Amino acid sequence: MPVIVVANPKGGVGKSTLATNVAGCLAAAGHAVMLGDVDRQQSARQWLSLRAAAGAALPAIRGWDVAGNDIVKPPKGTTHVVLDTPAGLHGKRLDAVMRIADRILIPLQPSLFDIQATHAFVAALREHRRAGEVQLGLVGMRVREHTRANEQLHHYLSTVPVPVVGWLRDTQNYVQLAARGLTLWDVAPSRVERDLKQWAPLVAWVQR
The domain that holds 171 is classified in CATH as 3.40.50.300
Mean pLDDT confidence for 87-97: 85
Q: What was the pLDDT predicted at 201?
A: 97
Q: What was the pLDDT predicted at 39?
A: 64
Per the structure, the complete domain to which residue 186 belongs is given by 3-207
107 pLDDT higher than 80: yes
Q: What was the pLDDT predicted at 93?
A: 84
Per residue in 28-72, pLDDT tens? 999 999 998 876 667 888 999 999 988 768 999 998 876 555 566
Q: What was the pLDDT predicted at 66?
A: 66
4 pLDDT higher than 90: yes
Instruction: Provide the number of structural domains found in the chain.
Output: 1
Confidence of residue 128 (pLDDT cuts 50, 70, 90): very high
User: Which span out of 59-63, 119-123, 193-197 was modeled with the highest average pLDDT?
Assistant: 193-197
Q: How far is CA 59 from CA 14, 17, 29, 71, 183, in A?
A: 22, 17, 9, 25, 10
pTM: 0.93
Q: Can you name the residues that pair with 4 across neighbouring β-strands? A: 82, 103
Burial status of residue 202 (CB atoms within 10 A of its CB: 0-12, 13-18, 19 or more): buried
Average pLDDT, the chain: 90
Q: Can you name the residues that pair with 135 across neighbouring β-strands? A: 103
Q: What was the pLDDT predicted at 70?
A: 58
Q: What percent of the chain has pLDDT over 70?
A: 94
Q: What was the pLDDT predicted at 92?
A: 85
Between 190 and 1, the more confident residue is 190
180, 181, 185, 186 alpha-carbon torsion, rounded to 10°:
-60
Q: What was the pLDDT predicted at 179?
A: 95
Q: What percent of the chain has pLDDT over 90?
A: 67
Q: What was the pLDDT predicted at 68?
A: 54
Q: What was the pLDDT predicted at 163?
A: 95
